[in-house]
Amino acid sequence: MNKSWPFAVLLLALAATPGCVERSEPPPLTAEELLLVEDLVELYTLRVLRFAQPDSASRRRESLRLNLGDTELEAQIERLAADPVRGHMMLEAVHDSLEALRPRLFPSSQG
């Protein structure tokens, strides 16, 4: 029996352990995915302003220009639903954008 066999098994086990195998990062969000992020953030902002600043929200609603039309929006959401990694990346981008807007959207919540 070859004495290097247990060592080879150990190496294979370590390679199969999460974190030991180098994984490639998914590519960054596409231009269309970034447009979707912008649209979602804009819609959320408008929703918050509707309650906090009705006049400002009304003016903003009148000038609202979303990047994606209904068909593009639906197609983009279907693609993201089929690819959970990309969908998660997009949601993280929305979250980060909303976090950056928090002081402006919720000024009274700042400590």
Contacts with 67 (C-beta within 8 Å, 6 or more apart), sequence order: 35, 36, 38, 39
| Cβ–Cβ < 8 Å for 74, 81 | no
Reported pTM: 0.66
Query: Which one, of 21, 19, 64, 59, lies nearest residue 41 by Cα?
Result: 64
pLDDT attached to residue 56: 80
**For 16-74, what is each residue's pLDDT tens digit?**
555 544 567 878 999 988 988 898 888 888 888 888 888 887 888 888 788 888 888 88
| Domain spans in the chain, listed from the N-terminal domain onward | 28-105
Query: Which one, of 42, 39, 48, lies nearest residue 76 by Cα?
Result: 39
pLDDT attached to residue 19: 53
